[in-house]
Amino acid sequence: MSEVIERHESEPAPLKIADVFPGQGFVPRELVGTARGLFNSPKAERVLTHIDAILGPIFPGIRVFSDLILNGSEEEVAQLSETENAQPAVLAVSMASVAALEEFGQEVESPFAVSGHSAGIVGALWRAGALGRMEALWLARERGEAIRDAKKGRKPGAMAAVTNREPIDIGGLEKICSEFNVELVNLNSPMQIVVSGRLEDVVSAGAGIKFAGHRVTSLSTSDAFHHSELMKPAVELFAKSVDRVKINDPKVPVYLNSTGQPLAMGRDITRFLPGEIAKPVDWVSVVNNMKARGISAFREFGHGSVLTGLVKRINPDAKLANIGSIEQAKSQPFQ
């Protein structure tokens, strides 16, 4: 009897895995390349054609999203960078990546928790069972349209990544930015923070930030005011869309961007989800709070490996896996 107990005690505890979903920061042709590769998975192909019912005709000469993936020209593909197209497109590719893992993966473990960076939160809600596939794709499109409409009539905006080899003094950075009406919108890692504001204000603040010893890199984006106070009109628009769908209690906790805290009730998600558009993404708190609850492995679904890269900077001991191709779905190793 004691031998049996000793053997069980020596077995490693099962990994607590968090599934995470990226936002819309991508190069359109690369996203399409990822999606095209996933068409070799029958389950993933069904997901990618399902989005056709949500988006309908996108551009002249391109019937539906799946047609764009397979036959779109460079100019047509480039239009995926528009917010209202980007958000459902990224979600569809993430969903297809999950489908590929379910089709080809061996002994696929369910997540212990989920989250998504910015627009990726909709994918997290779908993964947690709080939204169906159709509802999630529709809501992603509505979110993008709300942001697009809220920007109409505004002066051009800009976003810039502030980086340093050492952890950034958030208070000091906020002080510089506040002088130019620039906001901290993404706390991506201790060494990377994204700022946002009107174009001329970000340029002016950038000079002061560089003088303080940080590196400043301009970011290409179609939604430069995302997660800033200037997006409050989008919150009101998106809230109307959220009220039109039923958000169920998630099967696993969903970690919010703005607080880094988990939600477990559908009614709470309904209440907080719209406001996330105008609040900063605190990815550092998301990862640290997951770590505090015993989560030691992170699986990123979709194109690229941005989120797992950020996780590694926040929690160097974390085990990581990226699922964005059939090959990755088959191997699914945690590094």
Same domain, 92 and 36: yes
CB 18 within 8 A of CB 115: yes
Q: Is residue 254 in a domain?
A: yes
- Using the predicted structure, report yes or no on whether residue 174 has a pLDDT greater than 70: yes
Last residue of a domain, one of 219, 237, 271: 219
Residues 131 and 201 in one domain: no
Same domain, 41 and 125: yes
Flag whether pLDDT at 128 surpasses 80: yes
Share of the chain above pLDDT 70, in %: 92
Same-domain status, 123 and 29: yes
**Residue bearing tokens 């940080």:** 214
My answer on whether 144 and 190 are in the same domain is no
Q: Are residues 132 and 254 in the same domain?
A: yes
> Could you tell me if 259 and 284 lie in one domain?
yes
26 and 53, same structural domain? yes
**Residue 57 within any structural domain of the chain:** yes
Range of the domain at 273: 16-151+229-331
Say if residues 229 and 186 touch (Cβ distance below 8 Å): no
Q: Is the per-residue pLDDT at 9 higher than 60? A: no
**Active site positions, annotated:** 118, 226
Percent helix, strand and coil across the chain, each to the nearest 5: 50, 15, 35
> What is the CATH number for 180?
3.30.70.250
Number of structural domains the chain divides into: 2
CA nearest neighbour of 244 among 173, 146, 333, 318: 146
Structure confidence at residue 57 (pLDDT): 65
283-292 and 306-314 helices cross at what angle (nearest 10)? 60
- Asked if the model's pLDDT at residue 1 lies above 60, the reply is no
Which of 219, 237, 259 is the endpoint of a domain? Answer: 219
Computed over its alpha carbons, how large is the radius of gyration of the chain? Answer: 20
Which pLDDT score, from 0 to 100, does residue 32 have? Answer: 87
Q: Is 18 exposed, middle or buried (CB count within 10 Å of its CB: 0-12, 13-18, 19+)?
A: buried
- Is there a domain that residue 301 lies in? yes
pLDDT attached to residue 49: 81
Instruction: Show which of 194, 219, 244 is a domain's final residue.
Output: 219
Angle between helices 83-104 and 42-50 (to 10 degrees): 160
pLDDT at 4: 45
Range with lowest mean pLDDT among 49-58, 246-255, 271-280, 287-296: 49-58
Q: List the structure tokens of 256.
A: 């919010």
